[in-house]
A and B are shown apart, each in its own frame.
Chain A
Amino acid sequence: MLSIKNLQAKIGEKQILNGIDLQVNAGEVHAIMGPNGSGKSTLASVLAGREDYEVTGGEVDFNGKDLLELEPSDRAAEGIFLAFQYPVEIPGVSTINFMKTAVNKIRHYRGQSPLDAVAFLQLMKEKMKLVEIDQSLLGRSLNEGFSGGEKKRNEIFQMAMLEPKLAILDETDSGLDIDALKIVAHGVNSLRSKNNATIVVTHYQRLLDYIVPDFVHVLYKGKIVKSGTKELAKELEAKGYDWIKNEAALV
């Protein structure tokens, strides 16, 4: 589904990604871990098309399309979803209207007719249950005045609405208490299928107790320095990142 080859990117003059290789197939969950500043969020942002980053080399193929050539909105329409680490507050735009626009823009891109109000509401009600989010919250300005947990649940609600092929969760666990974490994880797990894939970007192993990965990759200084199974995450939790750094230094 997603094939990243030798991806390099910088922000300003600062090189952050130094040649990432990653293959993600349908039905898989990949965890990207690593110490602060290793490039985890940059990778997520580059895949979603954030303009602040300049891709300086490499290629990304997503279901046969050159992802790096696509506008951020087209990437979303092709099935990429980025759950933001810091969801943006947008006064004056309600989540409902926002989602209605997003759903129908994506349907338009795919050559489907727009959902009418009834069908949209039905879809929304169904997905709201999944993340235990209240309709009154969705009628309010997008993320404005939401708690950290509400923002993250809103992200997963949006993910449920848009049914992406590839979901990238960028530090979704940050700022969440254990109850909120469980709700978010439950939402993500319910959406898993053999047709879609998930990349979980996280600093801590905690989230991976709830969203169990098939593969774990450790990112350090802009490169994947180690890959393994969920056991690798446990090892990292127990030993910290220093041994990875030392190992990397030896290479």
Chain B
Amino acid sequence: MTTSTESFYTRIQQSALPSYFTEGTAKRQAALQRLAEVGLPTIKSEEYRFTPITKSLEKKLTWEISEQVSSISTIYSLLVNGLDAHLIVLINGRFSKQLSNLKELEKNVIVTTFNEADKQSKEVIQKLLGSVGNSSDAFALLNSAFYQEGIFVHVPKDTVVSKPFLILHINDAQQKQVISHTRLLTVVESGSTVSLIEKSDSVGEHNCFHTFTEEIVVGENATFDYCKIQNDGRAIHQVSNTTISQSDSSKVNTFTLTLNGQLIRNNLSIMIDGEQCESHFNGLYLVKGNTLVDNHTVVDHQKPNSFSNEMYKGIMDENSKGVFNGKIYVRPHAQKTNAFQSNRNILMSESATINTKPQLEIWADDVKCSHGCTTGQLDEEALFYLQARGIPHDAAKAMLLYAFALDVISLVKNETLRNYLDGLITERLHKNF
């Protein structure tokens, strides 16, 4: 456990791809090759300046590719209360057919593991995998080389998938450490409407390392709602790489909620490769203890006449750390782009920190772009105002924090999901008013 970064990394390098990786071998090899060139990030790496993940992994985990079995047989407590969903369950990186529920899928909607995909789907997977999210992020590459299971979701043209998909990532570290790598490829064809919720939970006290990479293609006039809920245990390191590509007149809404974990890094990229697109991407991180949460977002306006609006908010308590980096690219011919970004943070303790950085790179001249970030403590004047009306200090504090968090939550469209998220936040803030 006390090996150096190099040896951890060397061990990755020396890992032969296991024989049960039956599909995509060439792409896996290529990713491994590329990883050898890029290396795992150090704090000198610009993209990981405030997030010493390699060092932390090194300290907490040993690199291995053996799969951990899990004794989990019931997932009821991990579900979204009251939400009727198409359920996809992955435990320690492996799809659990038994715990998943895909019985009521609309006609021609495909949900399959890469392995079990039919010939036609395999061709789509072969063609698209790695091309949507062509990331040079070391953990995306690591995932591309070692992903254990890939889930392919295909929604054909003009289909409204009435129930949301709920992908549940469970890492069961009750016995020993778990390292898992999962993968998702989703294609939403033109004119379709899909909602996808991804929830990750880890159980057990042993350390976990989980990477997941998602590539999502949203066709013309399609609507895609995406929600990520990270409510893991304290001992997880998680890196997600999510890339969403949008075509003309499509709408994308994303919401990322992070509540727990040792070190959570989310890379979210929205590629607006179409005109008249609308993208709203929102996030909330409510962290405490020693949690580090790092959201790196990219919105890339490649075509004219689209709109994007980003709002991330954070409340950091105790020794927790927040990192936010928001890149907005507006390419030379992406005229008439409207792109907005805001990041607001509240620090609840002396030792909590936030590093926030907006990064706008605009090559087009006829655009409207704005960004803003604020960091502060709870507004003392507001706190006094509430107290002066008879609301005790703690309740007043909770009320203000809840209000701060709520305007991000209120943008989630699905009412059951919104109420569930509201419940998680209420619980976290000990709201008792």
Q: List chain A positions with a Cβ less than 8 A from chain B.
A: 48-51, 71-77, 81-82, 84, 87-88, 90-93, 98-99, 101-103, 105-106, 109, 158, 162
Contacts and interface: CB of A to CB of B under 8 A. Distances in A.
A98 B389 contact: yes
A94 to B, nearest CB: 9
A92 B388 contact: no
B391 A105 contact: yes
B403 A91 contact: yes
A217 to B, nearest CB: 23
- For chain B, which range describes its interface: under 10, 10 to 19, 20 to 34, or 35 or more residues? 20 to 34
Contacts of B386: 90, 98, 102
19 contacts: A49-B388, A51-B380, A71-B392, A72-B384, A72-B388, A73-B396, A76-B387, A76-B390, A77-B390, A84-B385, A84-B388, A88-B379, A88-B385, A90-B403, A92-B407, A93-B400, A98-B399, A103-B390, A162-B389
Contacts of B393: 71, 73
Given A88-B382, A102-B391, 11 more contacts: A51-B384, A71-B387, A72-B384, A72-B388, A88-B384, A90-B382, A91-B403, A98-B389, A101-B395, A105-B433, A106-B390
A72 B380 CA distance: 13
A88 B390 CA distance: 15
B404 interface: yes
A99 B403 CA distance: 15
Main secondary structure of the interface of A (DSSP, over half): helix
A81 B389 CA distance: 7
B350 interface: no
Contacts of A162: 389-390
Given A105-B390, A109-B390, A162-B389, A90 B400 contact: yes
Interface of B: 379-382, 384-393, 395-396, 399-400, 402-404, 406-407, 433
**CB-based closest 5 A-B pairs:** A92-B403, A76-B390, A72-B387, A106-B390, A102-B389
B387 A91 contact: no
B99 to A, nearest CB: 38
B385 A105 contact: no
Contacts of A101: 391, 395, 399, 433
A50 B391 CA distance: 14
A110 to B, nearest CB: 10
Contacts of A106: 390
A90 B381 CA distance: 10
Pick from B381, B386, B395 the residue with the most CB of A within 10 Å: B386
Given A73-B390, A101-B399, A101-B433, A87 B384 contact: no
Contacts of A49: 387-388
B429 to A, nearest CB: 13
Contacts of A48: 388
B399 A73 contact: no
Contacts of A102: 386, 389-391
Contacts of A105: 390-392, 395, 433
A73 B391 contact: yes
A93 B403 contact: yes
A101 B392 CA distance: 10
Contact of B385 (A51, A71, A87): A87
Contacts of B396: 73
A72 B396 CA distance: 11
A50 B384 contact: yes
A90 B407 CA distance: 12
A98 to B, nearest CB: 7
A11 B384 CA distance: 16
A103 to B, nearest CB: 8
A201 B353 CA distance: 42
A72 B402 CA distance: 21
B226 to A, nearest CB: 24
A101 B402 CA distance: 14
Nearest to A104: B433
Contacts of B403: 90-93
B385 A76 contact: no
Nearest to A45: B384
A82 B380 CA distance: 16
Nearest to A94: B403
A102 B399 CA distance: 11
Contacts of B388: 48-49, 72-73, 75-76, 81-82, 84
B312 to A, nearest CB: 16
The CB with the most chain B CB atoms within 10 A, among A84, A101, A158, is that of A101
A56 to B, nearest CB: 20
Contacts of B399: 93, 98, 101
A74 B393 CA distance: 10
Contacts of B395: 101, 105
A199 B190 CA distance: 67
Contacts of B382: 88, 90
